[in-house]
Chain A
Amino acid sequence: MSDLRELYQEVILDHYKRPRNFGALEEPCSTAQGYNPLCGDQVKVSLLSKDGTIEDVRFEGVGCAITTASASMMTEAVKGRPVNEAEALFESFHKVLIGEAELGDADLGKLEALTGVREYPVRIKCATLPWHALRAAIEGEEEQVTTE
């Protein structure tokens, strides 16, 4: 149970049950869909950026606790930040999850709560799915991105 608590921390369950920035933006500058074929989870990210800054971002879709919480926390983490900072944050987050960087070497802020997923390799894709969708939205890719 203690191990599971490490994965399913209160803050994650809270974002799962009460996702922030849930829904679609009325006038996004771009949207992108992320799909995890392994479990069928889908996350759609809509993005409003101006002069290289993410002014607003929302997500919708169905997903497990990890996907939903990660999407919710992602929107909070990147809103108001420059696009390149958001991309760098994903880079650091991803590296920590796949074991290429130590937690101490990266400034992940609140996203740290999600790093328990490192112990569950098949679930890492759940945590990164919303970020893949965000990156696709930033790059203006219209095709659905998948975790595969």
Chain B
Amino acid sequence: MTLESTAPSGAETSFSVEAVRAQFPALQQKVAGHPLAYLDSAASSQKPECVIERMADFYRHDYANVHRGVHELSQRATKLYEGARDTVKDFIGAAHREEVIFTRGTTESLNLVAQTLGRQRLGEGDKVLITEMEHHSNIVPWQQICAATGAQLEVAPIDDRGQLLLEEFERRLDRHTRIVAISHVSNALGTINPIGDLIQRARRCGAFIVVDGAQAVPHLAVDVRELDCDFYAFSSHKMYGPGSIGVLYGKQELLEDLPPWQGGGDMIRSVRFSGTEYAPLPYKFEAGTPNIVAAAGLAAAIEFLQELGLESVAAAEDRLLEYGEGLLSAIPEVRLIGTAECKAAVLSFIVEGVHPHDLGTILDQDGIAVRAGHHCAQPLMERFGVPATLRASLGVYNTTEELDRLAASLEKAVELFR
């Protein structure tokens, strides 16, 4: 897997999309009398049977709290929960299992870093650098910690295709830049950032590097050691796993050095009124009973993706993207927002004369699920001068027929509003 990602074009897809679809119960239904075309995976993906079953089995047979019982079920639950941590570690290429912290999702992971690293390292005159294409979850936590510490938030701009302007990014990096927080893949545009290159540039000025990988992990093979990022955050629910669980990867020596974030059970070694000794990694950052069963579900989702092979996934989605872009470009009223050279399978667009919200309703009547809105990236919408876009985001189960239906439905909407 190269740093800048996407599999070589023309790479063989080793899985049959029909066989993949058959594994997703939710995709077997009709909506408004049409087979459901689910084109909203960037918001949240559907779940395969293996994930649902793994979790149901866990609840049926093995459920108990983790890390504290001598009884059989607690031992089984602990084994499954900690086994999931090992699966995640191998999946992202982390060096140690202690570097994998379970959180509620990307948002919580980013808040954890902002509140611990930010509080520890930021002060007056320091800078945090983000980009114009960030999701609100990689903007607001930094605004909050900057306000609390007196640091400045800087924003690196993008070009009209939705690509980061490298020289502008570079120009904002100096010895005052303490933290660089960037998305690997843009949720609203699909842009794949040249993350390896950005990390190397940020590294040269000594900044800590935090990567929002929520939209990357379901589509590309990610190797955190190869990237050499300090922190990498992602969610399970966008990668075919259950909701309310995610991961924060951090380099061990950095995590060791950070103060804990939330206090409570599980994150302590011993508690006395005179003082508390914290638990070692990763538990120092996992206060309270975790989402035990969801961790096992995430492990099942990872195994599902590994079975398909992320190279094959990227190749299949690339072909779908190309096909979809061809179809949409052929409709004169459609303007694609986000046409980066290197892109994940996201089609963000507006249609002249038809508001995205109306389009969303019209497509829904044809059984097509898309997202209409600002995609939690309001500054980005402002950058492109639109209040909202329509976003069709693709996953392993999508087909060219579904994209044909999307295009036909859009043409119908244009006709209706003409």
Taking Cβ atoms with an 8 Å cutoff, the residues of A that contact B are: 1, 3-5, 7-8, 13, 16, 38-42, 62-66, 68, 120, 122-123, 126
Contact A8 B417 (CB under 8 A): yes
Extra contacts, 13 of them, besides A40-B388, A41-B357 (Cβ < 8 A), are A1-B412, A3-B365, A4-B361, A39-B356, A39-B372, A40-B373, A63-B355, A64-B355, A64-B358, A65-B355, A66-B357, A66-B358, A120-B361
A-B residue pairs in contact (CB < 8 Å), sample of 15: A4-B365, A5-B416, A7-B361, A16-B417, A39-B356, A39-B373, A39-B388, A40-B374, A41-B357, A64-B356, A64-B358, A120-B361, A122-B361, A123-B361, A126-B357
Measured in the bound complex, the distance between the Cα atoms of B378 and A4 in whole Å is 29
Nearest B residue to A3 via CB reads B365
Minimum Cβ distance to chain B for residue A55 (Å): 31
- Interface residue? B258 (CB, 8 A): no
Across the A-B interface, the 9 shortest Cβ-Cβ residue pairs: A64-B355, A64-B357, A40-B387, A39-B357, A65-B358, A64-B358, A40-B374, A62-B387, A40-B388
Contact B361 A13 (CB under 8 A): no
Minimum Cβ distance to chain B for residue A12 (Å): 10
Within 8 A of A (CB), among B132-190: none
- Interface residue? B281 (CB, 8 A): no
Chain A residues whose C-beta falls within 8 Å of the C-beta of B374 in the assembled complex: 39-40
Chain A residues whose C-beta falls within 8 Å of the C-beta of B417 in the assembled complex: 8, 13, 16, 65
Our pick among B361, B378, B416 for the contact of A40 (Cβ within 8 Å) is B378
Nearest B residue to A8 via CB reads B416
Chain B residues whose C-beta falls within 8 Å of the C-beta of A120 in the assembled complex: 361
Measured in the bound complex, the distance between the Cα atoms of B354 and A65 in whole Å is 8
Chain B residues whose C-beta falls within 8 Å of the C-beta of A1 in the assembled complex: 412, 416
Within 8 A of A (CB), among B183-208: none
Measured in the bound complex, the distance between the Cα atoms of B106 and A85 in whole Å is 50
Chain A residues whose C-beta falls within 8 Å of the C-beta of B340 in the assembled complex: none
Chain B residues whose C-beta falls within 8 Å of the C-beta of A63 in the assembled complex: 355
